[in-house]
Amino acid sequence: MGDMAEIATATTVAVTLGAILTAAFLLARERATTTLLPWPPPRSAVAIWLVVAIPSLVQIPFPAVLRALERDRALLHDGHWWRILTSGLVQDGGLIGTAINLSVLALVLPMAIAVWGVWRTVFLLFVSQLIVGLTMASLYPSNGAGNSGATLALAASVVGLVIMSTPRNREMTISWAVLVAGAALVLVGDIHGFGVLTGALMGAAVATVIPPVTHDRRSPEDTRSVQI
């Protein structure tokens, strides 16, 4: 029964994360200045992806890379503060986890750049990794690594942008659904929930302080019918 419960929980979490990513892309489609998933992808997206992908792939034949960069609570207490950030450059989920994390990042980066631009995307990813890494180090006793929390935060940042603009009813419904899903993940002890909520807050902050130039694809009728 215990194994079945774990499988059910893992499946539910995976479906929830997939729904959050889908919702983020739906919201981004209304705000992006360019195609969300162009081919070939923007060189800036490729460059950012390679920063994460290279050490993540190198660690497979050379596990010492993971040990050198992962989030290690004992070493953090000894002053290795930089592991909060470098733990996002390697993966602790084996081959499958690495493939999933890098694939999702490859999808989210072009979308984020289409909405936020390059430097806001870099800022959001950096700060999200910092906040998620600190949360993991504070709340979870085990060592670890991975970019999934920061990637989800980057995707969910679109929610903050939408809420701080003039969203129509459908956009607000999708945005609140993402926030509820993130809170639900937090309640079941899944760190990805912190990433989702962090991303939404960061998106709202960036949209307020240094808002991007977005392309509103809504019709004038949609804009006039906004209700908050």
Distances 50 to 44, 189, 216, 224 between C-alpha atoms, Å: 10, 30, 31, 43
| Res 73: pLDDT | 86
Backbone angles phi, psi at 173, to 5 degrees: -65, -45
Could you give all domains of the chain from N- to C-terminal order, each with its CATH number?
Answer: 17-214 (1.20.1540.10)
Q: Amino acid letter at 55?
A: P
| Res 225: pLDDT | 36
Distance from the Cα of residue 67 to its chain's centroid: 23
Element (H, E) at 99: helix 94-116
Tally the C-alpha atoms within 13 A of residue 184's C-alpha that lie toward its C-beta.
14
CB burial of 31-70 (b: ≥16 within 10 Å; e: otherwise) equals: bbeeebeeeeebebbeebbeebbebbbebeeeeebbeebb
Q: How far apart are the first and last CA of the chain?
A: 45
8 A C-beta contact, residue 52 and residue 105: yes
Segments in the chain below pLDDT 70: 1-2, 214-228
The pTM of this model reads 0.90
Tally the C-alpha atoms within 13 A of residue 224's C-alpha that lie toward its C-beta.
3
